[in-house]
């Protein structure tokens, strides 16, 4: 396997749920490069979908969503950020109770925050085994 540690990929797209597939496919491709198993890749795709959806919602938002995928030796870190023009007046993004349980089961770390108009998430998935 080629050494990919330290590589970073950025993806910026409109904040619409219809484009979340692009975020999932990018995550899957990068997890595969890190040698993740099929199940681990599926876990990453699920987590990206859940966290992106928590930010953009079912109808999307005005603005864009930027994801940064950082590759390390045995882990993939994904950071998402959207600056949405609702003047920070909406509720803080939060996955549903079911989504929170799913995230806890499929990734090693995750969080989601809001600071005014900026919403962010972070997830970490570590590869199991050698």
Q: Residues near 127 by Cβ (< 8 Å), separated by ≥ 6?
A: 34, 35, 36, 37, 40, 74, 75
Tokens 């929170």 sit on residue? 100
The pLDDT assigned to 102 comes to 92
Partners of 9 in beta bridges:
69
- Encode the chain (130 residues) as per-residue pLDDT tens digits: 557 778 899 999 999 999 999 999 999 999 999 999 999 999 999 999 999 998 988 888 888 999 999 999 899 999 999 987 755 555 666 778 888 899 999 999 999 988 888 899 999 999 987 4
Domain ranges within the chain, ordered by starting residue: 8-126
> What are the backbone dihedrals phi and psi of residue 20, each rounded to the nearest 5 degrees, phi first?
-65, -25
The pLDDT assigned to 43 comes to 97
Map residue 65 onto helix, strand or coil.
strand
| pTM score | 0.89
Q: Which tokens hold the place of 31? A: 């997890």
Tokens 């085994």 sit on residue? 129
The pLDDT assigned to 130 comes to 46
Which CATH number, 3.40.109.10, 3.30.565.10, 3.40.50.2020, 3.10.25.10, labels domain 8-126?
3.30.565.10
């Amino acid at each position: 396997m080629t050494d990919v540690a330290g590589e970073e990929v950025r993806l910026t797209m409109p904040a619409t749920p219809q484009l979340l597939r692009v975020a999932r496919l990018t995550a899957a491709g990068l997890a595969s490069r890190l040698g993740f198993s099929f199940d681990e890749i599926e876990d990453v795709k699920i987590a990206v979908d859940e966290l992106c959806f928590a930010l953009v919602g079912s109808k999307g938002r005005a603005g864009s969503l930027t994801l940064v995928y950082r590759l390390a030796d045995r882990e993939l870190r994904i950071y998402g950020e959207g600056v949405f023009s609702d003047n920070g007046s909406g509720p803080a993004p939060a996955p549903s109770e079911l989504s929170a349980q799913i995230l806890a089961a499929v990734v090693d770390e995750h969080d989601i925050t809001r600071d005014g108009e900026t919403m962010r998430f972070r997830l970490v998935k570590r590869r199991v085994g050698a």
